Amino acid sequence: MPVHPAEPPSCNPQRRRLLLRIGALAGGAGALASTACATPAGQPPAAARRIACDDFDALWSGFVAAFVQPDGRVLDPDTEARVSTSEGQAYGLFFALVADDRPRFDALLYWTRQNLCGGDLTARLPAWQWGRQRDGRWGVLDANAASDADLWLAWTLIEAARLWNAPTLATEGRALLARIRAEEVVDVPGLGTMLLPGPQGFVSADRLQWRFNPSYAPLHLLRGLASADPGGPWTVLAEQSARTLPAIAPNGLAPDWATWSVQHSAPLRGRWIADTQQGDTGSYDAIRCYLWAGVAPADDPLRPALLQGLSGIQRHTRTLPLPERFATRAAAGTDPAALTRGTAPPGFIAALQPYLVALGDCTGARLLAERLATVCASPTTRLRYYDHALALFSAGWLQQRWRCDRHGRLQRAPSSSASRCPTP
């Protein structure tokens, strides 16, 4: 039975996409500046209540306080249904592993198992969305799975088993991995082996249009899963991500979604087009593409292609303000003002820092850190759920709290020493 949630925290994080799956650089590296989370209702803002974001430990403590309930549910309170997602649970588990917080990890895993997997993580893929239903009861809102969360969950369980010498976690992780292979990895006409965003809803009835999310398969996860499951498709999927990137992001800007369109002819051929539902917009999903490329293992042979294939974002990091949305397939010569919209939230700025550090663009990385510090200096700035998650990934990597080797094995460090920005 689903666990009835306790009264949610009163932080007001940014609304996460619910349909169609959404300081200063220390020593030339990058530590996030301070920001704030919404204060509890009825309590005045106070400097003492701010969540410092200049190190991973402070961010993790703030994330737990704002979004993780005692029963292990990661809550996004800025939604009418008070939702939790498989993504939020998987991210929480990873952060707990990096923090060496085994009790929190166990609570997060128990809640995920009981509420998203019907009590058995080996029996089904996790439902991606859970919350308050229209009749007021609490439970699964959408039973479809989200493959990015599934990959993060399987990899984190396998790595936790290794680092904590807990073989039962590896058993669950490998069982989940087998389900991902069976239900979310497909052979696409004219394209080859690909990772669907979920088991259902991403292939047209005539099987001529296939929708994909470029941010769903981080390179370090695929390398780790290939190490755990050498006979699986993970190495091929990693190579596909680099091979398809030039066509998916022809201007070096990642879209949130992309569609592979197959011509009904023999032999079957296809081409990448702007997504049939989301168009060519790059925003809340796509921001992770740059983050994942930045944190990819430094000696991975595919890393240079990923960094170069996304280099269109680099010039925009000099823009004030950093845009929230990009038109990623605009023709050459298009007025730059027509290519971007909105102002990026703090999490976007944080997510781009590892990418620029990986490029060796120390000047750009410092500018981002200064910009983040300016944004966070405002007393109205609040670090919302997605911002907080992106900042945790970024700060932890920049401070060398976590790294992955070329085999996708997690390397943790207890110190928070800043990462040095490579010389261009």
- Catalytic annotation present for 148: yes
**Among residues 54, 76, 78, 87, which one is catalytic?**
87
Residue 101 exposed, middle or buried by CB count within 10 Å (0-12, 13-18, 19+): middle
CB atoms within 10 A of CB 183: 17
Q: What are phi and psi of 139, to 5 degrees?
A: 175, -165
**Among residues 148, 172, 280, 387, which one is catalytic?**
148
- Which two structure tokens, joined as six digits, stand for 340? 């971007």
Q: Which helix (H) or strand (E) holds 245?
A: helix 234-248
DSSP string, 54-80: SSHHHHHHHHHHHHB-TTS-B---SST
- Catalytic annotation present for 7: no
Cβ(156)–Cβ(93) under 8 Å?
Answer: yes
Q: Which helix (H) or strand (E) holds 209?
A: strand 209-212
**Exposure class string for 240-279: b at 16+ Cβ within 10 A, else e:** bbbebbeebbbbbbbbbbbbbbbeeeeeeebebebbeebe
Cα–Cα distance, 109 to 168 (Å, whole number)? 12
Q: Which residues are catalytic?
A: 87, 148
